[in-house]
Each structure stands twice: as C-alpha cells, then as structure tokens.
Amino acid sequence: MRLQHLALVDFRNYAAAEWSPSPGANVLLGSNGAGKTNLLEAIHLVVTGVSPRAGRERDLVRWGREACSVRAQVVRDEFSGALDCQVVWDRQQGKSVRRGGKALTGAGRTAVLGGAVLFSPGDLDLVKGPPSSRRDYLDLAAAKTLPRYRGLLRRYGTALAHRNRLLADAASGRSRHLSLSELQPWTQQLITLGGEVLRHRLWALSGLAAPARAAYARLSDSGEALTLTYVPAAGQAEPETAGMAVHPANPPTTVLPGWAADHPPSPAATAAHLAQAFAERQADELARGLTLVGPHRDELILSIAGAPARVFGSQGEQRSVALSLRLAENVFLRQALQDTPLLLLDDVFSELDARRRMGLLGLLREAGEGHQTFLTGTDLAGVPVEGFAPMALFRVAEGRIAPADGH
Ligand SMILES: Nc1ncnc2c1ncn2[C@@H]1O[C@H](COP(=O)(O)OP(=O)(O)OP(=O)(O)O)[C@@H](O)[C@H]1O
Ligand SMILES: [Mg+2]
C-alpha cells in the first residue's frame, strides 16, 4: 500500500494541512510537540480505520472545534488507481468513513483498507506494562485484519459491564439477593462472545508468534528464544508461574490447556472451556462481586529462555522483544491483507544502541522491498538516514509539513 496524498482538517494540532509523501522513505523532522506523532496517528487511522493510541477518539478533534477530517489518496499493491478515503470524527455524530466518495455504514464503517504498523517508544509497555497492554496488542492486530472484531469486543465489554454490575450490587448488599437465574443469561453471553474473542486472539497469535521469535533471534545476541504463551484467566495457576513452565525448546506459542496454537480451538471448545471455568469460579465471583473469568483477564506471557521478560528481562532485552512484536505485526498484516503495510517509525532509532539499530534496519529491509516508510525524529542525528536511501526529508512545524533540504 502506498499513501499518495494526505489532507488534515482540525486533526489534533493541525488546522489545515496537505502533504504528498514520497513513495519510499519519508523522514519527518520537527521539535518536540510539533505534531510528528499526530501525523503518524492520522496515517494509521485513515489506512487501518483505528487509532493506534488507546484513549478516546474524540480527542482527535482539534481543541475548540466540532469535527476533524483525515483524507487520503492511497494505492493498494495490486491496483493502479488511487482510492480516495476519508475518516471524519464529529463531536455530535461520531465517526464516519467514506471510500471513493461513498459513505460506509454499519459494519462496513470499519472496513479494512490496508495495513500500517506503528513502532513507538511507548512500545516498551508491551513488555513492561500491565497484561492489558499485551491484550491490546493482540486485539489491535486482529482488528486491523477483521473489520467485525471491534464490534465483537464492544459487545463483550457491554455484557461484561452488565454482569459486573449485578455481581457488585449483590456483593455490596446494594441489591436484594442475586438469583443465579438472573446472572445466567449474562454468563451465557460472556461464554459465547468471550469464546469468539478468544478464538480471534489465538488466530492472531498463531500468525504473530513465529515471526516474533525469528525477529528476536536476529535482534538479540544471546541466542535465547522468545516464546509467546497465551494463558486464559480461568486456569488456576498464576500466569507468571505458568509462563515459567514454558521450555525454550517448545514451539513459539503455547496455550493452556492443550490447544495447539496453529489450530485455534473450535467455538464449541472455547465455549466448553469458559463454561467450566465459570462453574469453578462461581463462589469466588459472588464473594468478590466481579467477573473473574474471560478474555478481559487473560494474559499473554512473553518469555525469553523460559523466564517472563516482564520480570526478568534486561532493559535491552525488553526493547528487543517490543521491536520483535511490531516486526511480527508487519509480517502478520502483510500475510493476512495480501498488501504491503506502511511502516510508521516514531522516534524509534534514537533509543537503540548501534547493534539493535543495525539489526532493525536489516530486518526492515528484509521484511520486503517496496514498503513506504515514515520516520520521525527531532534532528537527523536520531535517524539512520543512510539505511533508507533514497529518502525524502520534511520538516514539521506550526501545523505544516514542508520539504526540507537536510540542513
Ligand atoms: N485535540 C488536540 N487539539 C489540539 N492540539 C492537540 C490535540 N491533541 C494533541 N495536541 C497537541 O499536539 C501537539 C503535538 O503532539 P505530537 O505528539 O504529535 O508531537 P511530536 O512532534 O511527536 O513531539 P515529540 O518530538 O515530543 O514526540 C502537542 O503539543 C499536543 O498538545
Ligand atoms: Mg512524538
């Protein structure tokens, strides 16, 4: 996929900006707060349909304004013609998406146009952050390839909130005694929707695990292997302990209990698994007033040589794991969408030592020729321009993007 033209109106700190990037590597330089990250966010949003940042989408609208628009002309690998696409976020009416001048409605609103992968300094949170960071990683990868996945997550979240309220009210004595027949329909919904979430996550994981392992092998110098282990919350074992049990000789992914990662379980299998877990944890749930079973509590454990990187990884190892996850996302999207993802590298190289810089550059080059790449930095010293020849240089300042001469 290639971005030919981008037009922003009232998007974050941009009042009105137009930009035609080059088809190869684009280096965006600007001082802190100039709007470099915002620009990458706009590209990610218009191409994938989702913002790469967690948080409220209404924050995309420039302060004091009612609506923002991101409009792009893009070309997919196998088409020669440019497609016009636009995402509008209106404070009153929410999000709307147009493709080729036509408004998309319903599930189509999230239709996937192509892939984009954002590498950001915050990616270290994938390794060091709470389990929700790693769940978000899987969810974002799935959402970028399956338009309906976002809706599924939303419905799961709504059902979960209802069930939690019932449990919390009963546990705190705010409501009369909670009858199990009242809880049961919500449990059933969580079994059905949660089972689907689980299947989608495992499907994404099956495409991510091997490339993540391969990337890590190239970025680290220890020869130790990266393993991704999906641990459903229902298991009685503590996730960190369960992660320890994975031997490096194992395949790149394992899931509990006994599911092969390359063959995600059937709907019946996930439903049966969740139903049993709910039955086992019922007393706990009633006592604590909280839903303790389901994908909202699952963990993805990243381990190096069998030890969880979150706890035992050195700073450098953790950084390599985070990079490996993004490189894997690129491989996964390319395969799932049959199109070359855009690579958005937000101030990534300045934080890497020379070895990892070279490793990342090599991997990006191998990931395939023809990637359109966007790199940001405050100055040229933080960007390995030599690795991206030929490249076009732009300066971001005062809400504008202008060609720069490099001096
Ligand atoms: N909705 C909004 N309306 C107006 N301004 C916003 C909005 N959201 C964010 N901003 C502003 O956009 C500015 C630029 O942010 P951005 O993160 O893109 O900078 P940057 O160039 O990446 O800086 P750095 O080099 O520090 O990473 C920030 O100062 C922020 O306050
Ligand atoms: Mg930034």
From 311, 338, 365, give the residue that closes a domain: 338
Same domain, 203 and 290: yes
Same domain, 334 and 348: no
Percent of the chain scored above 90 by pLDDT?
58
CATH number of the domain that 231 lies in? 1.20.1050.90
176 confidence band (pLDDT: 50, 70, 90): low
Q: Ligand 1: which atom is nearest the Cα of residue 63?
A: 3
Give the model confidence (pLDDT) of 177-234 as tens digits.
777 888 999 999 999 999 999 999 999 998 999 999 999 999 987 889 999 988 888 6
CB 110 within 8 A of CB 78: no
Same domain, 351 and 299: no
From 338, 367, 385, give the residue that closes a domain: 338
Give the model confidence (pLDDT) of 85-116 as tens digits.
999 999 999 888 888 888 887 655 555 677 89
From 338, 368, 397, give the residue that closes a domain: 338
Angle, in degrees to the nearest 10, between helices 315-337 and 131-145: 20
| Distance (Å, whole) CA 105 – CA 403 | 37
Q: Ligand 1: which atom is nearest the Cα of residue 31?
A: 25
Q: pTM of the entire structure?
A: 0.90
Question: Does the beta carbon of 92 sit less than 6 angstroms from any atom of ligand 1?
Answer: no
Structural domain of 8: 1-115+339-407
Question: Does the beta carbon of 211 sit less than 6 angstroms from any atom of ligand 1?
Answer: no
CA of 35 to the centre of ligand 2 (A): 7
Same domain, 156 and 294: yes
Residue 260 confidence (pLDDT): 55
Ligand nearest to the CA of 28: 1
Same domain, 110 and 175: no
Same domain, 395 and 265: no
CATH number of the domain that 42 lies in? 3.40.50.300
Question: Does the beta carbon of 378 sit less than 6 angstroms from any atom of ligand 1?
Answer: yes
CA of 38 to the centre of ligand 1 (A): 6
Number of domains comprising the chain: 2
The most distant pair of C-alpha atoms in the chain lies apart, rounded to whole Å, by 73
Question: Does the beta carbon of 34 sit less than 6 angstroms from any atom of ligand 1?
Answer: yes
Same domain, 58 and 189: no
Same domain, 380 and 254: no
Pairing of strands 299-304, 226-231: antiparallel
Same domain, 134 and 182: yes
Give the model confidence (pLDDT) of 286-304 as tens digits.
999 999 999 999 999 999 9
- The b-or-e profile of 40-77 (16+ CB within 10 A means b, else e) is bbbbbbbbbbbbbbeeeeeebbbeeeebbbbbbbbbbe
Alpha-carbon Rg of the chain, whole angstroms?
A: 22
